């Protein structure tokens, strides 16, 4: 109170200087407190710079790890040679009666000769008794198939156990025992950025190993196969790598190398592999049933383009399909499948395809402004006269 009376008794000039003095005192006190605090709280020491020896040790450790993985996995990767015989054909000129009138019916001088088209690829030994996984496009239409192991043994009596063009996978068998079967890994546990190695026979150069990382997972709508859920990697994959192994840092199979995205045909750091969990499922179905059956709703899908709504639009329906019989209609939007959000046609397609025929499915559907749940049983995905799955989900 006395201090306030003294301040009021001051002249106006002296009273105006008081706030300035107080601010200066506060600034001095703050500086003193920060100085004391900095002396009582020691700063964290900076880590010492890495020495050349330490850096060399880390690089040597990484190099040794890659070498160990290659040593484990390469014996399980084989070279596949496929030969397709294209029979000779007579010249189309002999379809012209006037030509036959002048030259007769002897078409031998004009016949196109028989041709043999050869292709090279890779495969992975997945059982000790001779089962080999590869890409379907490596052996599709082949008249003769031969397999060469890493130890140089060659097998010409190769059985095609089954093929699945929809995922571009094929299962072969050779007559051999005690083979170096690769160990299965869990592709679902892969993380983006994780190291992987691609092993195969690019351009016929056997047992080639390249390294890279997982660039992305769940790549769909790439346009390579009907059902796509690819692992993307920047490990170099080139022609001849198809059907080879993509392995993790423990030497476990996490993918079957399938294709590259390139305008030149060479590697540009964008390669794709079928994940091991899908490859294993296809293999088991081919062994058990000789074919791969997939679920089917009977819709032609389209992606939703309406603001915040995410889902799949029913663009069209197959008559008497499960979706049609359950009451779905054109322009309905499928938001969920068995409680899981659906964000794209490719995602819904893979979900339904993984279900065997007869599986009950619950869909959350939006029609206009109303939402409701629809229950139905998926059917077996029908095929066309060429054996290809009909379009749609």
Query: According to the CATH classification, is domain 187-289 in 3.40.50.720?
Result: no
pTM score of the predicted model: 0.74
Alpha-carbon span 223 to 219, nearest angstrom: 10
Report pLDDT for 2: 46
Report pLDDT for 1: 46
Report pLDDT for 238: 84
Report pLDDT for 25: 56
Report pLDDT for 61: 65
* Token reading at 95: 């379809």
- Written out in words, the top-level CATH class of the domain with range 295-380 is mainly beta
The DSSP secondary structure of 228-288, one letter per residue, reads --EEEE-S---TT-TT-EEE-TTS-EEEEEEEE--SSSS--S-EEEEEHHHHHHHHHHHHH
Q: Within the chain, which residue ranges are assigned CATH 2.40.10.120?
A: 73-173
User: Is-contact 164 226, C-beta < 8 A?
Assistant: no
Phi/psi-derived region of residue 5, left when phi > 0, alpha when psi is between -120 and 50, beta in every other case = alpha
Q: Within the chain, which residue ranges are assigned CATH 2.40.10.10?
A: 187-289
Per DSSP, the three-state class of 196 is strand
Alpha-carbon span 367 to 369, nearest angstrom: 6
Alpha-carbon span 192 to 194, nearest angstrom: 6
Query: According to the CATH classification, is domain 73-173 in 2.60.40.650?
Result: no
| H helix intervals, the chain | 2-9, 12-40, 52-73, 97-103, 136-139, 276-289, 322-325, 345-353
CA 16 to chain centre: 75
Q: Within the chain, which residue ranges are assigned CATH 2.30.42.10?
A: 295-380
User: Is-contact 387 302, C-beta < 8 A?
Assistant: no
CA 153 to chain centre: 32
Low-confidence stretches of the chain (pLDDT < 50) are: 1-10, 12, 15, 18, 41
Convert the pLDDT of each residue in 283-314 to its tens digit.
Answer: 999 999 888 888 999 999 988 866 667 889 99
- In Å, how far are 11, 22, 162 from 18, measured between CA atoms? 11, 6, 95
Report pLDDT for 28: 56
* Token reading at 268: 């540009």
* Active-site annotation, residues: 137, 168, 242
Alpha-carbon torsion angle 53, 54, 55, 61, nearest 10: 110
Gap between the terminal Cα atoms of the chain: 86
User: Is-contact 80 100, C-beta < 8 A?
Assistant: no
């Amino acid at each position: 109170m006395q201090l306030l009376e003294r301040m009021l008794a001051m002249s106006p000039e002296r009273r105006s200087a008081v706030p300035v003095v107080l601010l200066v005192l506060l600034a001095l006190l703050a500086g003193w407190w920060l100085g004391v605090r900095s002396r009582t709280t020691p700063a964290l020491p900076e880590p010492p710079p890495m020495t050349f020896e330490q850096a060399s040790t880390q690089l040597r450790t990484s190099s040794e790890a890659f070498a160990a993985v290659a040593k484990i996995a390469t014996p399980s990767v084989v070279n596949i040679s496929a030969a397709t015989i294209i029979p000779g054909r007579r010249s189309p000129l002999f379809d012209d009666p006037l030509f036959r009138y002048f030259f007769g019916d002897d078409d031998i001088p004009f016949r196109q000769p028989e041709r043999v088209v050869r292709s090279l690829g890779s495969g992975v030994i997945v059982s000790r008794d001779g089962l080999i996984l590869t890409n379907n496009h490596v052996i599709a239409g082949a008249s003769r198939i031969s397999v060469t192991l890493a130890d140089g043994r060659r097998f010409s009596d190769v059985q095609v156990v089954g093929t699945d063009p929809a995922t571009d996978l094929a299962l072969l068998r050779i007559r051999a025992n005690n083979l170096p079967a690769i160990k299965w890994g869990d592709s679902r546990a892969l993380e983006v950025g994780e190291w992987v190695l691609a092993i195969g026979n690019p351009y016929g150069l056997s047992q080639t190993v390249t390294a890279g990382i997982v660039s992305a997972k769940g790549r769909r709508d790439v346009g390579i196969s009907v059902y796509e859920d690819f692992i993307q990697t920047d490990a170099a994959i080139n022609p001849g790598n198809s059907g080879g192994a993509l392995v993790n840092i423990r030497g476990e199979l996490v993918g079957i190398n399938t294709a590259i995205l390139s305008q030149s045909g060479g590697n540009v750091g964008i390669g794709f592999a079928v994940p091991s969990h899908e490859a294993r499922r296809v293999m088991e179905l081919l062994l058990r049933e000789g074919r791969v059956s997939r679920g089917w709703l009977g819709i032609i899908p389209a992606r939703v383009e309406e603001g915040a709504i995410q889902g799949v639009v029913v663009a069209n329906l197959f008559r008497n399909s499960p979706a049609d019989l359950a009451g779905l209609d054109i322009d309905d939007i499928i938001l969920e499948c068995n409680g899981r959000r659906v964000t794209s046609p490719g995602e819904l397609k893979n979900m339904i395809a993984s279900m065997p025929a007869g599986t009950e499915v619950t869909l959350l559907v939006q029609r206009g402004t109303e939402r409701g749940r629809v229950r139905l049983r998926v059917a077996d995905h029908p095929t066309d006269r060429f054996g290809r799955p009909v379009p749609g989900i």
